[in-house]
Amino acid sequence: MIPLSTLTVAAVLCAANAVNAVNVFAHFMAQNSYSYSQSDWANDMTTAKNIGIDGFALNIAANDYEISPQLGYAFAAAEQADFKLFYSFDMSYSWDAPTIAGIIANYSTSSAAFRYGSDNNLLVSTYSGENNGDSFYSGLKSTLSGQGINITLAPAFTSYRDPSQADSLMSTFPSIDGFFNWWSWPADVNANLTTDTDTAYQAAVKSRGGPYIMAVSPWQFKNLDSGGDWVEYSDTLWDYRWQQALQVQPDIIEIVTWNDYAESHYIGDINPNVDLGTQAPLYVDGFVHAAWRDVAQYYISWFKSGNQPTTEEVVYWYRPYPKGVTCSTGSLPRNSDFPADAVFAMAMLSSEATLTLSIGSQQTNWSAPAGLSMGYVPFPTEDAQVPYFEVSRSGSKVFDGYGSLSVNQTGCSYYNFNPIVGKVPN
Ligand SMILES: *[C@@H]1O[C@H](CO)[C@@H](O)[C@H](O)[C@H]1NC(C)=O
Ligand SMILES: *[C@@H]1O[C@H](CO)[C@@H](O)[C@H](O)[C@H]1NC(C)=O
Ligand SMILES: *[C@@H]1O[C@H](CO)[C@@H](O)[C@H](O)[C@H]1NC(C)=O
Ligand SMILES: *[C@@H]1O[C@H](CO)[C@@H](O)[C@H](O)[C@H]1NC(C)=O
Ligand SMILES: *[C@@H]1O[C@H](CO)[C@@H](O)[C@H](O)[C@H]1NC(C)=O
């Protein structure tokens, strides 16, 4: 068995041996807050704050209910929770600059409005928006500064992904102060993501004084037919992308996402009142991701304190069906041959131990060091098998437990590449 990431973890340990002033935010889809009361916001904020997240980047589409009442609830809850908020305007919707300026101005004096850097400007981000052109953003900034509100603009212009385009981004957009690299999954390739995009754009924006915001995401799978059917290779992403963040040392880490259920990268709980339409519930309902927050908490604590935590826990994730199974409805997502048919487990240990993973006739062991390591066991050919995880030292079991869902070979009713996530002890 291969301890997948033991070597990289050891290297990272030295690099991160200092207290880091990084802020960690989670990308929050305000579109999904339609049914929210203020207490729903408060619950999400408490859950996020408990694992070290400083605030939410509010992905605002142009819906009336997001602007009122939801932003009012969000800021009221954040003020009470001592939690921070900044806007990530979703520019794939149609916006005009006066509307954006009005929204920014409305809560600009809130204690929950996140301010960045020595200028103490309000941080404003986007999802996409490069097609609006620089004049849109220079106009927005001057409108606001005319009202005594200075902003630091760090957009996610998503067509800028190629490292060689970083200089062109800067010359095309003199108004931007920072940059948010949205791309936290491999780009339709059966290979791991590298930090090439991160380091190129981080270097390019340095002279502008705004933040380099690095996205960290656990997964990417969507099966909405006209809304997109794809999976990106994410098997060990939730481990190695955090390690990449420790190496890149961005100014802000943005977890993508808290609650984008349809793309399967939510780390928040599934709120049963959120209307996910007709297709997303077929692969989201029951597919709890809560234990991914334990991994985030581990890395955030390590990142902020410089000290590696000493927890004793195994977090696992796996898809419910092998990729070759034919399902009765839905469609096979693009890149469906990329994910490995396997149960993945991440050990967070205070001292060396033996990890045993088994499912059906498959079993594998690895010698896990103190700290983090990852391993996997391939799916068996038998139907309806539940994985088993055991941590032992000197031949004696320390703790063990079972996965919360079986891996099936038959009876698939919808193509689902969203993993179930859990932990042992649970
Ligand atoms: C400002 O906030 C109030 C209270 O939530 C809301 O009613 C109003 O629509 C908001 N105005 C703008 C321009 O966002
Ligand atoms: C906004 O920025 C300008 C130019 O840097 C500065 O003169 C002004 O004091 C700032 N205003 C506030 C309210 O910080
Ligand atoms: C991705 O990285 C992991 C180690 O983190 C490695 O085991 C795996 O083989 C890599 N995947 C590919 C497709 O290269
Ligand atoms: C894994 O470890 C268990 C318990 O320590 C042992 O019984 C089993 O034979 C090992 N399996 C393999 C494949 O090494
Ligand atoms: C897998 O099979 C088991 C046993 O038949 C069943 O209880 C379970 O609901 C099935 N899981 C899925 C996701 O269909």
Cα dihedral 56, 59, 62, 66 in deg (nearest 10):
-30
Chain segment 103-146, per-residue pLDDT in tens: 999 999 999 999 999 899 999 999 999 999 999 999 999 999 99
Q: Taking residues 333-338, report their average pLDDT.
A: 98
Surface-to-core class of residue 114, CB atoms within 10 Å of its CB (0-12 exposed, 13-18 middle, 19+ buried): buried
Write down the architecture of domain 23-305 according to CATH.
Alpha-Beta Barrel (3.20)
- Candidate from 1-15, 40-54, 252-266, 290-304 with smallest mean pLDDT: 1-15
Q: Does ligand 5 lie within 6 Å of residue 404's CB atom?
A: no
192 CA → ligand 3 middle, Å: 6
Between 78 and 21, residue with greater pLDDT: 78
Q: Taking residues 49-67, report their average pLDDT.
A: 96
Distance CA 409, CA 326 (A): 9
Q: Does ligand 5 lie within 6 Å of residue 63's CB atom?
A: no
Per-residue model confidence (pLDDT) at position 22: 87
Q: Does ligand 3 lie within 6 Å of residue 128's CB atom?
A: no
Whose atoms come closest to the Cα of 418: which ligand?
Answer: 5
Contacts of 109 (CB under 8 A, 6+ apart): none
Query: Ligand 3: which atom is nearest the Cα of residue 338?
Result: 13
328 CA → ligand 5 middle, Å: 15
Per-residue model confidence (pLDDT) at position 20: 59
Enter the DSSP assignment of 352. Answer: -
Does the structure show a pLDDT above 50 at 174? yes
Per-residue model confidence (pLDDT) at position 16: 44
Per-residue model confidence (pLDDT) at position 397: 98
Chain segment 144-157, per-residue pLDDT in tens: 999 999 999 999 99
CB count within 10 Å of CB 8 equals: 16
25 CA → ligand 5 middle, Å: 36
Query: Ligand 1: which atom is nearest the Cα of residue 75?
Result: 5
Q: Does ligand 3 lie within 6 Å of residue 121's CB atom?
A: no
Query: Ligand 3: which atom is nearest the Cα of residue 5?
Result: 5
Chain segment 307-330, per-residue pLDDT in tens: 999 999 999 999 999 999 999 999
102 CA → ligand 1 middle, Å: 8
Best CA proximity match to 319, nearest among 223, 203, 210:
223
| Mean pLDDT estimate for the chain | 94
Does the structure show a pLDDT above 70 at 64? yes
Query: Whose CA is closest to atom 5 on ligand 4?
Result: 395
Q: Does ligand 5 lie within 6 Å of residue 406's CB atom?
A: yes
Chain segment 183-242, per-residue pLDDT in tens: 999 999 999 999 999 999 999 999 999 999 999 999 999 999 888 999 999 999 999 999
CA distances from 109 to 101, 106, 121, 204 (A): 14, 8, 11, 31
Q: Does ligand 5 lie within 6 Å of residue 15's CB atom?
A: no
Q: Does ligand 4 lie within 6 Å of residue 363's CB atom?
A: yes
Distance CA 348, CA 350 (A): 7
Per-residue model confidence (pLDDT) at position 312: 97
Pocket of ligand 1, candidates 41, 68, 108: which has the most ligand atoms within 8 Å of its Cβ, to mutate? 68
Residue 223 tokens, joined: 């099966």
Contacts of 103 (CB under 8 A, 6+ apart): 60, 67, 71, 87
Domain 313-425 has CATH 1.10.287: no
329 CA → ligand 2 middle, Å: 57
Q: Does ligand 4 lie within 6 Å of residue 362's CB atom?
A: no
> Can you give the residue ranges of every domain in the chain?
23-305, 313-425
Whose atoms come closest to the Cα of 383: which ligand?
Answer: 5
Per-residue model confidence (pLDDT) at position 19: 54
Per-residue model confidence (pLDDT) at position 339: 98
Query: Whose CA is closest to atom 5 on ligand 5?
Result: 384
